[in-house]
A and B are shown apart, each in its own frame.
Chain A
Amino acid sequence: MFDFDATLPLMAVQFILLMVVLNAILFKPLTKVIEDRSTLISNSQTGAKEGLEQVNAITQQYEKALIDSRRQYQSIIAKAQAEAQKTASEQIAAAQAEAVAARETATRELAAQKVSAMAELEKQVDSLSQEIVNKLLVGV
């Protein structure tokens, strides 16, 4: 059972040969493919992460732009409203002023016409009274 002979060194040599052969045809190519694969996986993971970050950045940018433009249009609306308000009140004021002015002119004209009418009437009172007197005196 325990007989040692040339089998021992020959087995050792065979084992070393087997190791060299397996290293060439099994361990090296498989290690290479396994490591290549894990590199590929980690690379694409990094790539995906970067893409995700990019997407997030773009989304943020877009949201910021959205908020900005919302603010901008609100301010534009407010400005326009204010302007419109201003225009409206200016026009109202102008119209009121015009109306007041027109009324004043009308009042003044009316007064002037009254005065002239009164003057004329007074003039006519004189002539009329003269005529009345003449007529009466003719009868007498």
Chain B
Amino acid sequence: MPLDIEMLNFLDSPNFVSLAALEVGQHFYWHIGSLKVHGQVFLATWFVMSVLIIASLLATRNIQQIPKGMQNLMEYAMDFIRELTRNQIGEKEYRPWVPFIGTLFLFIFVCNWSGALIPWKLIHLPEGELAAPTNDINTTVALSLLVSIAYFYAGFKKKGLSYFAKYVQPTPILLPIAVLEDFTKPLSLSFRLFGNILADELVVGVLVLLVPLFVPLPVMLLGLFTSAIQALVFATLAGAYIHEALEGHGDEHEEEHA
């Protein structure tokens, strides 16, 4: 059974990770002064950003009352984003948050799909490999911290210091949980996105290694689906957190009845 032995060898091998061509934890470091950054993340991010910017420029270059082509596509995305933001934040206050939520959604969506669709492997880096920027924990933590800052900003801007009242609003007993929530929110946001994308890429990588060609295809399709869902979930949760900060406990019931 040469095949079995080979597989066993392969599993026993100490550098399984690099054999599997999944170089998790290896990075293409750039040094800026005394700082180290992950170059592969930046390269992929710049690619994603330029895709978004080029698509936007194409869509709004020759803007028309009756949309066509690229403008139509981006208006569809725009409608989707506006709807999402309105559903989460509410008719009254959603407008200023559309750019934030929309950029979150578009950026994460294009990041995830770029990781799933573009054969980054073909471009060789000295160290590490190109992949979706969202499979680096730095990216997801940065995004989720921005969400935290955004909802604190929303709360303070609307209510000033009385925003803190929501921590003790129903009962002060829940204060520790309310404080804990402010830590679990970014934590869960970042780890959900990071975990899903990284796991998806790992699963696809391992399957491609084990059974090449057609078997990994359904998993890849599932990966595309998960990627889209994760972008949607991230944007939706960001909207929900901002809405929560804007509303507080007192008004919620009024709104339900309204």
Binding site for B on A (CB under 8 A): 1-12, 14-16, 18-19, 21-23, 25-27, 29-31, 33-34, 36-37, 40
Chain A residues near B153 (CB, 8 Å)? none
Q: Quick check: A12 and B142 within 8 Å, CB to CB?
A: yes
B41 & A11 in contact (Cβ 8 Å cutoff): yes
> Which residues on the B side are within 8 Å of A36 (C-beta)?
65
Apart from A11-B45, A22-B56, 4 more pairs, CB < 8 Å:
A12-B146, A19-B99, A22-B99, A40-B65
Inter-chain contacts of A18 with B (CB < 8 A) = 49, 52-53, 103, 107
Contacts of A11 in B (CB 8 A): 41, 45, 133, 138-139, 142-143
Name B122-140 residues within 8 Å CB distance of A: 133, 136-139
Interface residues of B (CB under 8 A from A): 24-25, 27, 32, 35-38, 41-42, 45, 49, 52-53, 56-57, 59-60, 63-65, 67, 71, 74-75, 78-79, 82, 98-100, 102-103, 106-107, 133, 136-139, 141-143, 145-146
* Contact pick for B75, options A6, A9, A25, A34, CB 8 Å: A34
The residue that A26 contacts in the complex, of B67, B78, B133, B143, with Cβ under 8 A, is B78
Interface centre among A4, A12, A27 (most CB of B within 10 A): A27
- Say whether chain A's binding surface is mostly helix, strand, loop, or mixed: helix
Nearest CB in chain B to that of A22: its residue:
B103
Separation of A49 and B142 alpha carbons in the complex (Å): 52
The CA of A14 and the CA of B38, in the complex, are separated in Å by 14
Q: Please determine whether B65 and A7 come into contact, CB atoms closer than 8 angstroms.
A: no
From A6, A9, A15, A25, B36 is in contact (CB under 8 Å) with A6
Contact of A30 with B138 in the complex, beta carbons under 8 Å: no
When chains A and B are docked, how far (Å) is the Cα of A25 from the Cα of B102? 13
Chain B residues in 8 Å Cβ range of A19: 99-100, 103
Are B41 and A25 interface neighbours, CB within 8 A? no
Contact yes or no, B99 A9, CB < 8 A: no
The residue of chain B having its C-beta at the shortest distance from the C-beta of A9 within the complex is B142
- Interface pair B103/A15, CB less than 8 Å apart: yes
